Every structure is written in structure tokens, then in C-alpha cells.
Amino acid sequence: MSSITLDDLRRYAVARTLFTPTTLAKAIERLGFVQADPIRAPARAQDLTLRHRVRDYRAGDLERSYAKLAIEEDHFVNYGFMSREHAALMHPRLTDRKWDAKTKRQAADILSFVRERGAVHPRELEQHFAHGRVKNYWGGSSNAGTKIMGGLHYRSQLRVARRDNGIRLYEALPESFGAIHTLDDAQRAAQLVELLIRKYAPLPAASLTYLVRLLVNYGAPHLVSQAQQAMRTAHELLASSSIDGTTWYWPADENPASARHKVKDEVRLLAPFDPVAWDRRRFVLLWDWTYKFEAYTPPAKRQFGYYALPLLWRDQVIGWANVSMDNGQLHADFGYAKSKPREAAFKTALDEELQRMAQFLIPRS
């Protein structure tokens, strides 16, 4: 498609993922995967992502509804939420993450305990076993038992049953889970690669390669050779176009230049991991500036702020906002990559988005 332009890709990238709001289950199914993050500033990333795509969504609705929906918390290209059918493509997951003999014994004891008790809170596990604390990924410390339950989850032994104030409760993964699909590894890999393409398209070639690497290294290391073959096949089956030396890919049944990809006069405050902004390589190509997630950057070195939300106006990400809620009042500090739009339509749309954000942050009674 030599007639595709960067303007087409920009509109397409925004319009295809910011679809008309629907139900929570349908939104997750359509997105394919919703990345999770524990920081609340002003809400968790999964809630900030879903509020644009689910009717009358409030912060915490996903956690409140999780146990009633056919969805799973699981590893994909990172950690988040997927439909049960999509999550099952990752299992049974084999891993080269080795445990020493002591940890293996502890894991076996924990697995037996969870199978006997049902959904188990980490506090209950610690009271029973007292495994002590270990260093976690972020440099702090966590209960050793909690870390092992996470490992059993990754190894297709446990699943997240629900959350209690953000804390994961685990239960045994049903044997029937692995029977959802009667697919071989090559078929699973092909469907997973298709899932990530439909999630993040349009994709620069380098981003497609990077995503597949994340999939096989972090989410499904047992599918390495099959995923690599699936990517080679995907390159042949996807539609593509070269623009200014960059090759872009998207599903062959979609047309970025279609008139149906219309962008409204709306402002959106996006999660740092929203599909619109997630691929930082694509972000620079589409919007010609570099956005950074700085929650783990030392304060003195931050350019945007602790939890800067990308600011989307029509089909342009023009800046960022740091948002907080204090005594029922919403506060927002803005920054702009170039300059603040002067048109009245922008001010109206921004006010409407801040009103939507405030409503989203009000707890359900």
C-alpha cells in the first residue's frame, strides 16, 4: 500500500484502539491484553486504560468484577489481564527459571496448601509457613511465600482467584484450563503473535521484532522456535508500507487509509501503558517527541513528573499531565511538547476530559 501516509497511520493508531465504549468483558476481548501496574497516580494503569473503552467505568471496576468474568491475570509481553481463552494459549508454560532444592520443597508445600484451602491470601500463607522475606524485583522486600506463589502462577500451577485491596489471592489452576485449546505449539505461537499484532498495530518493523522477543522471553519461553517461525510467517501475511525508511506492519484485513478511521475533537488523558502510547519507538515516529515514564526516575532527574499521563488531542499526543485527587477535588498540572493549543475547541474538550476523570475517580457506593 504505497499510498499510506504517516498521517493515515496516526489516525489509524488512535481510532482502532479508542473504539466506542462497550462492556468490560467485550473491551478486554477486543483489546486482547490490558497491562497492569500497581501505582495509583491517580489510578492503576489498567483502570486508566479501560475507562476510555468501557461504559460508565470507575476506578477499581476491574478488580471488583474480575471473579465474575472469564478473564485471567497472566504474563503476555508483560503482566496484565487477558480473556481466559487468550491466556490459555500461554499454557502449559515451561520455564528455564530454576529453583534450588529448598525452594522446590517450599513450592510443593505451598501448592498442597493452596489445593487444600482454595483461594489463599499471602497473609494466611505467611501465618502458616513463616517463610520470611526476600528481595523483590524493585529492590524492596516481599514475603518469600508470596514470591513462590507468583512463581507457581508463572509455571501454570496457580491462578489469581481475585484481589483483596489490590493483593492477589491464588488458587490452584484447574486441570481443565489446559484443555481449552487442542492446539500444538506452532498453532499457539501463531495465534499469540497475531494477538500482539492486533493489540499494538500499526507497528514499525523493529517494534514487531521486539514484541515477539518479549513474548518468547517473558511470557512463553517454551514457544521460542515456533514464535520465531510465526513472526516470519506474519511478515509475509501482514500488510505493510515503507514511510521515510521505516517499514510499518498491520493486519491485512485492515486499511489505515480508510475514511472510517475518524478522530473526534476529544482530549484523552492516557495511561503510560495505553496502546496508543506504549510503544515508545512508534511514539517518536508518530508524534516527533520522546515521552518517558518516570515513576522510577529520581525526582531531580524527572522531566515530565512521577506519573505523567500522555495528553491526546484529536490524533496528536501534544503533552502530558500529572493528575491527583485531593478532598474530592481534581488537580492537574500540564506540560506541552511544543505549545498549548489556543483554539476554543481544545479548552472545551480538556474541561470535559477532566470532568470525566473526576467522575471515574469517585468510588462506587
> Mind listing the pLDDT tens digit for each residue in 209-229?
999 889 888 878 778 888 878
Residue 188: exposure state from Cβ atoms within 10 A (0-12, 13-18, ≥19): buried
Say how far apart CA 189 and CA 322 lie, in whole Å.
Answer: 38
Amino acid, res. 69: L
Of 65, 148, 68, nearest to 104 (Cα)?
Answer: 148
Going by pLDDT thresholds of 50, 70 and 90, the confidence category of residue 283 is: very high
Dihedral pair phi/psi, residue 255, rounded to 5°:
-125, 105
Q: How many CA atoms lie within 13 A of 32 on its CB side?
A: 19
pTM assigned to the model: 0.92
> Mind listing the pLDDT tens digit for each residue in 231-263?
777 777 799 999 999 999 999 999 999 989 999
Mean pLDDT of the chain: 91
Architecture of domain 101-172: Orthogonal Bundle (1.10)
> Mind listing the pLDDT tens digit for each residue in 137-157?
545 546 788 999 999 999 999
Q: Is the pLDDT of residue 291 over 60?
A: yes
> Mind listing the pLDDT tens digit for each residue in 198-210?
999 999 999 999 9
Domain ranges (residues) in the chain:
101-172
Contact of 173 with 93, CB cutoff 8 Å: no
Res 91: pLDDT: 86
For the chain, percent of residues with pLDDT exceeding 90: 75
> Mind listing the pLDDT tens digit for each residue in 339-350?
999 999 999 999
Residue 356, classed as helix, strand or coil, is helix
Residue in the block written with cell 473526576? 358
| Low-confidence winner among 41-50, 102-111, 231-240, 281-290 (lowest mean pLDDT) | 231-240
User: Which sign does the torsion angle of CA 182, 187, 189, 190 carry?
Assistant: negative
Res 57: pLDDT: 98
Residue 166, classed as helix, strand or coil, is coil
Going by pLDDT thresholds of 50, 70 and 90, the confidence category of residue 131 is: low
Residue 339: exposure state from Cβ atoms within 10 A (0-12, 13-18, ≥19): exposed
Return the higher-pLDDT residue of 347 and 130.
347
pLDDT (average), residues 116-133: 85
Contact of 167 with 125, CB cutoff 8 Å: no
Lookup: cell for 272 = 503510560
Res 138: pLDDT: 45
Q: Is the pLDDT of residue 166 over 50?
A: yes
Res 183: pLDDT: 87
